[in-house]
Amino acid sequence: MKNQKPSYLNFDSDTYSWKPDINYKKHPEKYKVGKGEQGVLICEPYKSEIGKYWRFKDAAIAEESSAKIFELFKEYLNQNDFVGADMARKYLQMGFTRARRYFNYKSGRKYDPENNYKPLERGTGDPEKEKSAAVFFNKWKEAEADAQYAQMKKEWKENLG
């Protein structure tokens, strides 16, 4: 692993595209797709609508959680709500990445803040989280493969970013 400090140490909220004081359901034009999971823990009301179902403690919980979030993803698509669908997709992706992180690192942290943010040793985490990650990975990829979502995302990026 590269010996670099985590990006969150130099986080600049002023230049971050997503803001906690915007209601993205009322102002979807202010939403940016971004990379990966960006904005997932900020964009309201979707954070509150989706986040309460986001769990990955074990594979059974991950199955229930990812199924509910995927159901919300489909509901948002049926309502022609791209922002909601994209946020649900991001929660599915984050289920995968966070479960993998807890599989790789017991504490869920990649860096040691007590040791100049030196990378911690991998392979110390919970093996059950690997199963949770696989569950979320499959739902995330199913969401990304949805033709309606892909078309909406393409149009959104072309028109709004």
Rg of the chain's alpha carbons, rounded to an integer? 17
Q: What is the DSSP string of 86-128?
A: HHHHHHHHHHHHHHHHHHH-TTS-SEEGGGTTEEPPSS-S-TH
Tokens of 42: 């900020």
Q: Where are the domains of the chain?
A: 39-159
Of 143, 35, 138, 21, the residue nearest 82 (C-alpha): 143
At residue 115, the pLDDT reads: 85
Dist CA 110 CA 102 (whole Å): 9
pLDDT category of residue 94 using cuts at 50, 70 and 90: very high
At residue 8, the pLDDT reads: 66
Q: What are phi and psi of 44, to 5 degrees?
A: -95, 150
At residue 13, the pLDDT reads: 77
Of 17, 8, 157, 33, the residue nearest 93 (C-alpha): 33
Between the two ends of the chain, the Cα-to-Cα distance in Å is 32
